[in-house]
A and B are shown apart, each in its own frame.
Chain A
Amino acid sequence: MDDPIAPIVDDLNRALGIDRDTLEKELKLLIIDFKVPVEEARRSIIKKHSADVAAEVAAEPEGRAVHDPSIKLLKDLRAGDSGVTVLANVVEPRYREITTSRGTTTVINGMLEDSTAKVHFTAWLDLPALFSGKALLAKNVYVNGFHGMPSVNIGERSTLEEFDGSVPGYMTRRCSLAELMEGDGAYDIEVEGDVVSIRPGSGLIERCPICSRVMQKGQCRAHGRSGGVKDLRIKAILDDGTGSLICVFDHTLTRAVLGIELEMALENGTLENPEERLKAALIGFPFVIRGNVTRGEYGRILIATKATRPDEDVGKLARELMVSMR
């Protein structure tokens, strides 16, 4: 009788470089003990070992990171941290003039990202390495808060090393609202929830022409009475059953969530009962919202950068859930 195992051992040994004893043992287990069809056994072993190989390859770029316990993931940074080391990609660095108490200076602004988060950074001196396009190992940086979001500062005592290898980029993270109600703010996250209330100050508003603050009865709280600039926005309370947050839609997103006709009617100020119309358009409806959570004098606010209505096939999700319950 033909031995079905030996030729496969030869093959896979050549292809994957796994030693013959391991292959033989695993194939025997699958084909002889578990009566798995030969092709299926072959497929599952290739899959298992190529996953190992892939995992090793994937772990490689961060290999050094793992060995250096002082490296912090960006999501773990908190305002007040100092002497921190981070390994991150530099996103959209640019020079900027800023005015401080000691006069104007030029800094470099941008974002740092790793696979866990994206955060703002400011470099207080000219470091061309930031523009190299390579990932950087930044040592001795410190963290402060900017609108409640952690922000990395690169100063005179910090050092930058170009990192050979790539740091996986940040993919917008899906969060529960409970998660966002704790801790500092967050940059570029996504939530899904239902609109449960519309706050006063939604719809057509007037902003102070000097500072952009919202004016009450034609008055800015800092600059007094002046002709305001009209703007449209919505402050909605979003609730996902685990937590709730105030979510602000700017003019563009207001148009996106309301549709053009309602938005124009609001803008022209011709609607009777604009607040009721806003509620009728939004309350009870689910939204997937991308944006940033800032923390300021009014508590935590989700500033939306994108809003869509979810459209997954819930019938299919329900079926999957039922199968998993059996």
Chain B
Amino acid sequence: MSEREVARRTFAREFNDSNLQQGESIDRSPNFIVTPTGIICNRVFIVGVLTEVENIGLEGQTMYRARIADPTGVFTVYAGEYQPSAALFLSSIKTPAYVAVVGKARMFTPEKGAYYMSVRPEEINLVDEYVRNRWVYMTSLFTLEAIRTMERAMESGLRGSELERYMSATTPDAAGIAIALDHYHVSVDRMEAYRQMVMDALATILDVMPKEKKEASSDGMALAIIEDMIKRLDRGDGVSYEVLLDAAEKLGYGEMSVEKTLNALMDAGRCYEPRIGILKLI
């Protein structure tokens, strides 16, 4: 079984700065884009704000072009007839919206010296602000790590296959780093600029409110746990509310959330109160 390509995380600016493709498109081996910090990506995972969707298909063909913004720039996503579920999603969504995309990195070269980077979606879905902010944080971590690794490569003074061998002990991207260093003429200043980009990206998520603790009634884990608890504690004639509350409190659920969860279970018709203060599953 061939290994699935890992979905890499990069910011839009670094992604769009890329113009190096590896691997032949003729055979079935996957294509890779190598970014300026040496990240080898075939599959990417991006989360951002969908700002615009255009139908650019000619003569009734399906082809949507979507713009997805992160704090550093904009990803371009194309979905045509071979990405039916992504195309359907894009045709019906209202902008702006937080979306997550899993897809393949593509490079389009219409003429010599002109490069356009895009993403061909495999999956696309509506997410929320918290998921976007977390993606910005995680992508910052990955980008910083890549910058540091590239800086170590520069400090080594090595080049080409020697550099690749030297770096392979510490990173799976050793091959990407070795070719990126020469192809992009990577400099200390350029890496410093990317570091500043990460700083600026992080600054955009600083003062957002922390995620509100989910209400217990919509908290699936609480529902599952309390339902299982009733099942286990029931010796045949139901469970008293006090006993249940005691057990739930040991797991960190307060009276408020137990009550809410019970109401949700009753509303869903999974549990009832045969007598006052006694609970039973249906």
Interface of A toward B, CB cutoff 8 Å: 177-178, 181, 194, 196-197, 237, 239, 241-244, 252-253, 255-261, 263-264, 276, 279-280, 283-286, 298-299, 307-311, 313-319, 321-322, 325
Contact = CB atoms under 8 A, between A and B. Distances in A.
Contacts of A299: 1
Given A256-B223, A314-B210, 11 more contacts: A241-B142, A260-B220, A260-B264, A283-B125, A309-B214, A310-B134, A311-B130, A315-B133, A318-B136, A325-B198, A325-B199
B32 interface: no
Of the candidates A283, A299, A319, the one having the most CB atoms from chain B within 10 angstroms of its own CB is A283
Contacts of B207: 315
Question: Would you list the 4 A-B pairs with minimal beta carbon distance, nearest first?
Answer: A284-B100, A313-B210, A283-B125, A256-B224
B141 to A, nearest CB: 7
A212 B228 CA distance: 22
A314 to B, nearest CB: 5
Interface in B209-227: 209-211, 213-214, 218, 220-221, 223-225, 227
B268 A194 contact: no
B145 to A, nearest CB: 10
Contact of B205 (A181, A244, A259, A314): A314
28 contacts: A177-B6, A178-B6, A196-B7, A196-B102, A196-B123, A239-B6, A239-B7, A241-B7, A242-B6, A243-B6, A252-B224, A255-B220, A256-B224, A258-B220, A260-B223, A263-B220, A264-B270, A279-B123, A285-B100, A285-B131, A286-B134, A311-B210, A314-B134, A314-B210, A315-B205, A318-B133, A318-B137, A321-B144
Interface in B11-67: 45, 47
A286 B85 contact: no
B9 A319 contact: no
Contacts of B141: 321
A299 B131 CA distance: 29
A253 B223 CA distance: 11
Nearest to A242: B6
A244 B42 CA distance: 14
Interface in B99-150: 99-102, 122-127, 130-131, 133-134, 136-138, 140-142, 144
A63 B268 CA distance: 57
Nearest to A181: B3
A286 B221 contact: no
A282 B144 CA distance: 28
A321 to B, nearest CB: 6
Nearest to A194: B45
B206 interface: yes
Contact of A196 (B1, B45, B137, B202): B45
Contacts of B205: 314-315, 318
Nearest to A311: B211
A69 to B, nearest CB: 26
Contacts of A279: 85, 123, 125
Contacts of B265: 260
Nearest to A309: B214
Contacts of A314: 130, 133-134, 136-137, 205, 208, 210
Contacts of A319: 202, 206
A241 B6 contact: yes
A321 B140 contact: yes
A243 B6 CA distance: 5
Contacts of A322: 199, 202-203, 206
Nearest to B201: A318
Given A255-B224, A260-B268, A261-B268, A315 B208 contact: yes
A286 B131 contact: yes
A284 B211 contact: no
A316 B137 CA distance: 10
Contact of A316 (B102, B195, B210, B270): B210
B45 A241 contact: yes
Contact of B8 (A241, A253, A309): A241
Interface in B223-274: 223-225, 227-228, 264-265, 268, 270
A198 to B, nearest CB: 8
Contact of B125 (A263, A284, A309): A284
B172 to A, nearest CB: 8
A258 B142 CA distance: 29
Nearest to B142: A241
A176 to B, nearest CB: 11
A73 to B, nearest CB: 23
Nearest to B270: A260
B185 interface: no
A321 B211 CA distance: 19
